[in-house]
Amino acid sequence: MIKLRNGETIPLEMHKVKVVQKTYLLPVRERLEAITRASNNTFLLPTREVFLDMLTDSGTNAMSDRQVAASMMADDSYAGSETFYRLKDKLKSFFGTDYFLPAHQGRACENIISETFIKEGSIVPMNYHFTTTHAHIAKRGGEIAELLIDEGFEITSDNPFKGNMCLDKLRNLIKTDGHRIPYVRMEAGTNLIGGQPFSLANLREISAICKANNIMLVLDASLLSDNLYFIKMREAEAKSMSVHQIVLEIAKQCDIIYFSARKLGSARGGGICSNNLKLIDAMKELIPLYEGFLTYGGMSTREMEALVVGLDETLELDIISQGPMMIAHMAKELIKRGIPVITPPGGLGCHLDASEFVSHIPQNEYPAGALAAALYIISGVRGMERGTMSEARQPDGTETLSSMELLRLAVPRRMMTLSQIEYAVDRIHWLYDNRHLIEGLEFFEEPKIMRFFSGRLRPLTGWQDKLVEAFERDFGENSR
């Protein structure tokens, strides 16, 4: 953050724009038609109908000139390419791990880890699940135990490490069900609770408990860059550590580290790292089966080269601060206007609390999904529902009500400008003043697995027309 004369702070973009992509801001009536065609699911909107794409930070971070340049130096070879060895060496210096299995993205790593270690009846304790993680474990007959600290579930808090795991909950679970636990999973920058970090101290304690009980510790490092920034800024002991020292200290605690390079390293792809050859050997055969040969694992060599540079850039505070600073600014501006958001602001994106924003919509009418559709209609901003719609129904068909109803507005790293953030804030503010017009949604096509990706929904009433009419009254007929 940089301080202005008047004492206010703003995030400062520590890069200059060299290549741009045109975006489109459709008039409000066309946006209403677009969200209707997309069946009120923002995943189904084509980007030509989206103005600000705040759906996800996955594969949407801007690459640096050095990353793009490096990708042109890729060695395209099915087996044994120079590019693979460059990436393997980079991961060795980055995490301090000797072994690396490449995979095409983060969930592919989850598939391989689950197939190798999960069996019917397994329980995987975690600080909090991610959607694809849960789906892979459930598919193999395992279950998850959410052992997040209680404060992690509170929307507003001043706990700097809401992504911490509760040590007592872990100890108790090991006591009662230790024999069913193949590994404990910690997620950096815990996605579904608002991009919230764990602390180094917490990870160390979890690791010690795991070691004492002979249980593996697996780290999902997809959102590591945000977590690193928060450890550096918020944890006393890290003040004197370099970002790389923090990475190495984190990695030392874990038996297996996997990541989505669509997030970590602002590239594409993913992989699994470890210092334990036995564990690597147990997973290795699945790479050529599902991913590709062991020296590319489904990644293109160009993205592997971009990742090599992206990992280096992850060690620079001026680079990893970009996302969290923009998010902090957006959250501050929203809070000023009385709009409920997750605090402290985390990484990945700014998270609106839909359960408060549209408190009149019951959870089984998908408040966060309705808010996502409403925001798109009045602004062209595309967010992502992270609430009950993103959960799976129970085997008997009843809804699993999510512990949080969030509208996630991702801020892809280095991709957005401050004026775009301000536009989003302004429209969210307008929507907040008109929130009584928003009503619920219902599925008319509901996939069984990860229904949020492609499910189709309709508004329960004609509320969307009324919302457009109100917008036109304030901004002009069919205005943008």
| Residue 188 CB, nearest approach to ligand F0G (Å) | 7
Number of other CB atoms surrounding residue 6 within 10 Å: 5
**Which member of 220, 226, 255, 353 is catalytic?**
220
Between 159 and 188, how does the x/- string for binding to ligand F0G read (CB under 6 A)?
----------------------------x-
Nearer to ligand F0G, 105 or 207 (CB): 105
Contact call for residues 47 and 59 (beta carbons, < 8 A): no
Query: Can 263 be counted among the known catalytic residues?
Result: yes
C-alpha to C-alpha distance for 30 and 471, rounded to whole angstroms? 13
Nearer to ligand F0G, 58 or 420 (CB): 58
Number of other CB atoms surrounding residue 428 within 10 Å: 27
C-alpha to C-alpha distance for 6 and 11, rounded to whole angstroms? 15
Strand ranges inside 315-474, DSSP E? 349-353, 381-382, 384-386, 406-410, 441-445, 456-459
Please name which of 307, 308, 198 lies closest in space to residue 253, comparing C-alpha atoms. 198
C-alpha to C-alpha distance for 226 and 230, rounded to whole angstroms? 6
Scan residues 39-78 and list those touching ligand F0G (CB under 6 A): 56, 58
Tokens of 244: 């790389």
Nearer to ligand F0G, 299 or 319 (CB): 299
**Which member of 130, 229, 357, 471 is catalytic?**
130
Nearer to ligand F0G, 94 or 130 (CB): 130
Binding window for ligand F0G (CB under 6 A); candidates: 104-112, 238-246, 285-293, 412-420 = 104-112
How many degrees, rounded to 5, is the angle at CA 223 between CA 250 and CA 116?
75
**Which member of 98, 131, 153, 456 is catalytic?**
131
Between 187 and 206, how does the x/- string for binding to ligand F0G read (CB under 6 A)?
x---x---------------
Is residue 262 close enough to count as binding ligand F0G by CB under 6 A?
yes
Nearer to ligand F0G, 218 or 341 (CB): 218
Among positions 31, 88, 107, 232, the unique one binding ligand F0G when judged by CB under 6 A = 107
Residue ranges of the alpha helices (H) in 103-237?
A: 106-117, 131-139, 167-177, 200-212, 224-234
Query: Can 452 be counted among the known catalytic residues?
Result: yes
Among positions 42, 94, 97, 106, the unique one binding ligand F0G when judged by CB under 6 A = 106
Please name which of 443, 267, 419 lies closest in space to residue 364, comparing C-alpha atoms. 443
Is residue 111 close enough to count as binding ligand F0G by CB under 6 A?
no
Contact call for residues 382 and 50 (beta carbons, < 8 A): yes
Pairing, β 270-274 against β 349-353: unpaired
Is residue 390 close enough to count as binding ligand F0G by CB under 6 A?
no
Scan residues 403-432 and list those touching ligand F0G (CB under 6 A): none
C-alpha to C-alpha distance for 376 and 394, rounded to whole angstroms? 30
Total chain residues near ligand F0G (CB under 6 A): 15
Tokens of 439: 């009503």
Between 293 and 312, how does the x/- string for binding to ligand F0G read (CB under 6 A)?
--------------------
C-alpha to C-alpha distance for 247 and 479, rounded to whole angstroms? 48
298 membership: H or E segment, kind and range: none
Nearer to ligand F0G, 83 or 390 (CB): 390
184 membership: H or E segment, kind and range: strand 183-187
Contact call for residues 261 and 296 (beta carbons, < 8 A): no
Question: What is the amino acid identity at position 98?
Answer: D
Nearer to ligand F0G, 126 or 325 (CB): 126
Scan residues 213-232 and list those touching ligand F0G (CB under 6 A): 220, 222-223
| Residue 11 CB, nearest approach to ligand F0G (Å) | 21
Nearer to ligand F0G, 60 or 464 (CB): 60
Binding window for ligand F0G (CB under 6 A); candidates: 105-113, 271-279, 395-403, 421-429 = 105-113
Strand ranges inside 72-182, DSSP E? 99-103, 123-126, 143-146
Positions touching ligand F0G (CB under 6 A) are 56, 58, 105-107, 130, 132, 187, 191, 220, 222-223, 260, 262, 270
Residues with catalytic function:
78, 130-131, 220, 263, 386, 452
